[in-house]
Structure 1
Amino acid sequence: MTEAALNSRSDPAQPQSNAPIPPVVRPVAGSAALPARAIGWTSARAVLALMLREMGSRYGRTPGGYVWAVLEPLGYVVILSLAFSLLFRSPSLGTSFVLFYATGYLPFIQYQNVSHEVARSLRFSRALMSYPVVSWIDAVLARFILNALTTLFVAVLLMTLILSFVDTRGLLDFGPILLAFALASMGGLGVGLVNCALIGLVPVWEQLWNIISRPLFLGSAILYTFEDLPTMVSDFLWFNPLVHVSGLMRRGVYSTYDASYVSLIYTFGVAMILVAFGLLLMRRFSRKILNDM
């Protein structure tokens, strides 16, 4: 190179070449470098996409679709009502067996469906977990929101149908009714998160939990009221949060039923402890669970 060319490169006062200088581009280190607003919008889109995918796979391929989601609990309540009407003259509350068992069974299936589906969130959405925009929390939220809203919608339809044929002789209190379904959903989310982690870490836990949880239907005050039980049994079942949920539901439907044993603090506290514990387990072991599937 000539001396003039060397001087032009080393002297900043000399005019430079007209060729554009490319800007320095730094690599983005994952989603942490994205704005919080962008992360939230991406997560919301992922949750909505997962919800639509599950709606199509669960109900879109079945003849009747969502009709079966309504007919199944309705048939169960009707069968219970017919069976117990042959044994007893009247239910523990009111005069309608159908209404009495519906008030206990509908919050129970709200808990059961949410916990069952949340526990299998990673298994259902495993194929999409390889995409960086889809995380385990998106899969959990999608299943929780969809199944909670679906079961609540079914419960509203069934209660409307039952109340159109049954005279309640009182006004419904929607506050306790909605609170009962909210507590059932939160309890189902907590149990589902814990089971999602445990099933991923110890696959045999799924069979064990199915065996352990079978008596839960009989111990959740669905077929009876809390006051019908002997003191020794009721003192033990009081620690089952679903007993409080069914009592809260019946307080809203039957204006004369007080359900003084219901503790909102206890029920909400148990649900939040389970949710927090489940989130800790999932945050710690979600990558291991996905790798082992």
Structure 2
Amino acid sequence: MGSDVEIRRPWDIQKAVITALFLREMKTRFGVYNLGYFWAILEPAAVIIVFWAMFGLRMRKHLPGIDYPMFLMTGMVSWRLFASLVSRSLPAMKSNQGLFIYRQVKPIDSLISRMLVECLVYFFVFISFVAAGYFLGYDIRVANIPALIASFAGVILFGFFVGLGGSLASYYSDTIPRVINLCMRPMFYSSGIFFVVATVPDKFRWMLLLNPMLQWNELVRASYFATYSADLVNPLYIGAWLLGSSYASLWFYMKLKEKIIAS
């Protein structure tokens, strides 16, 4: 006798859970604000305008063939994507703790759903800025679209794994997420968002290049602008950061998963 019970594969169950969490995150994040999705565009746009006003004239000679607002846009979107992934991931597990009583919901699902929200939001932010650049008469042509996608994918994975590690560490100490958030400010100013790292004197440049987000920004810009060079990027260095953060956070997650569900 045949059974009418439908057997769902684990992937189908996880996909359904992540979709439900994704929709919940979208409603929670944007549903209560009057500006809604526009706030995600207005905030980085305001920062771009400020830096453009401060450094626009000075940077022209260092960026032949590149419009400075577009230079700012690529760095700002890349940074905001990384920073948002980290900051939104840090409290993700604790804020969704009540859902873990359902065995279908895994702790990492809460981070994956937030990652998807950030990717969707900043995809539209990026498209909006490119469209604005077009209407303002700037050169918006992308030199290497596959390389640009790969560069942003690296930023996304790096932000996700840093956020995952920080979220797990918060179960040991509430201080760790605060330390991570505190480190974001110096990382912001040293990520090359509003300056060309090649113009920095050698005795200071090596310190800036220790910031992996500066090197990811360089890759994003070299992919977007045909005349921009990423010669200062060390693929082994940022690869080590990416692999190290992924291995450490996933190992940490497997060790703590059952404890998080039971807590």
TM-score over 0.5 (shorter chain): yes
Given that 1:221 and 1:246 are in contact with CA atoms closer than 8 Å, whether structure 2 keeps it comes out as yes
The answer to whether 1:118 aligns with 2:109 is no
Of residues 90, 110, 129, the one that matches 2:60 is 90
Of residues 142, 147, 153, the one that matches 1:182 is 153
Select the structure that is richer in helix.
2
Which residue of 2 is the match for residue 208 of structure 1? 179
Given that 1:46 and 1:134 are in contact with CA atoms closer than 8 Å, whether structure 2 keeps it comes out as yes
Uncovered stretches (5+) of structure 2, i.e. residues with no partner:
1-5
Q: Distance in 2 between matches of 1:243 and 1:267?
A: 10
CA deviation string 1:111-154 (max 9, x = no partner):
11111112221123222111111111211211112212222221
Query: Alpha carbons of 1:225 and 1:85: their partners in 2 closer, same or farther (altered >3 Å)?
Result: closer
Which residue of 1 is the match for residue 3 of structure 2? none
TM-score (norm 2): 0.88
Which residue of 1 is the match for residue 50 of structure 2? 79
Q: CA RMSD in A?
A: 2.3
Counterpart residue identity of residue 204, structure 2: V
Counterpart residue identity of residue 93, structure 1: L
How many Å apart are 1:291 and its aligned residue?
Answer: 5.6
Task: Tell me the SS of whatever aligns to 1:260.
Answer: coil
Q: Distance in 2 between matches of 1:203 and 1:147?
A: 24
CA deviation string 1:15-38 (max 9, x = no partner):
xxxxxxxxxxxxxxxxxxx97x62
Given that 2:87 and 2:181 are in contact with CA atoms closer than 8 Å, whether structure 1 keeps it comes out as no
The answer to whether 1:232 aligns with 2:189 is no
Query: Alpha carbons of 1:51 and 1:89: their partners in 2 closer, same or farther (altered >3 Å)?
Result: closer
Query: Alpha carbons of 1:226 and 1:57: their partners in 2 closer, same or farther (altered >3 Å)?
Result: same
TM-score (norm 1): 0.80
Task: Answer 1 or 2: higher relative contact order, Cα 8 Å, separation at least 6.
Answer: 2
The answer to whether 1:138 aligns with 2:109 is yes
How many Å apart are 1:90 and its aligned residue?
Answer: 2.5
Counterpart residue identity of residue 90, structure 1: R
Which residue of 2 is the match for residue 13 of structure 1? none
Q: Distance in 2 between matches of 1:130 and 1:161?
A: 46
Given that 1:199 and 1:206 are in contact with CA atoms closer than 8 Å, whether structure 2 keeps it comes out as yes
Q: Distance in 1 between matches of 2:157 and 2:87?
A: 13
Quote the sequence identity (%): 22
The answer to whether 1:41 aligns with 2:9 is no
How many Å apart are 1:180 and its aligned residue?
Answer: 2.1
Given that 2:197 and 2:205 are in contact with CA atoms closer than 8 Å, whether structure 1 keeps it comes out as yes
| 1:237-248 map, 5 Å | 237-248=208-219
Q: Distance in 2 between matches of 1:154 and 1:126?
A: 30
Uncovered stretches (5+) of structure 1, i.e. residues with no partner:
1-33
Q: Which deviates the most, 49-58 or 65-74?
A: 65-74
CA deviation string 1:32-67 (max 9, x = no partner):
xx97x6211111100000000011111112113111
Q: Distance in 1 between matches of 2:142 and 2:183?
A: 38
Q: Distance in 2 between matches of 1:183 and 1:280?
A: 20
Given that 1:92 and 1:224 are in contact with CA atoms closer than 8 Å, whether structure 2 keeps it comes out as no
Query: Alpha carbons of 1:62 and 1:225: their partners in 2 closer, same or farther (altered >3 Å)?
Result: same
How many Å apart are 1:286 and its aligned residue?
Answer: 3.6
Q: Which deviates the most, 53-62 or 283-292?
A: 283-292
Between the two proteins, the alignment pairs up a number of residues equal to 257
How many Å apart are 1:264 and its aligned residue?
Answer: 3.4
Counterpart residue identity of residue 62, structure 2: S
How many Å apart are 1:209 and its aligned residue?
Answer: 2.0
Which residue of 1 is the match for residue 78 of structure 2? 107
The answer to whether 1:63 aligns with 2:34 is yes
How many Å apart are 1:289 and its aligned residue?
Answer: 4.4
Given that 2:83 and 2:159 are in contact with CA atoms closer than 8 Å, whether structure 1 keeps it comes out as yes
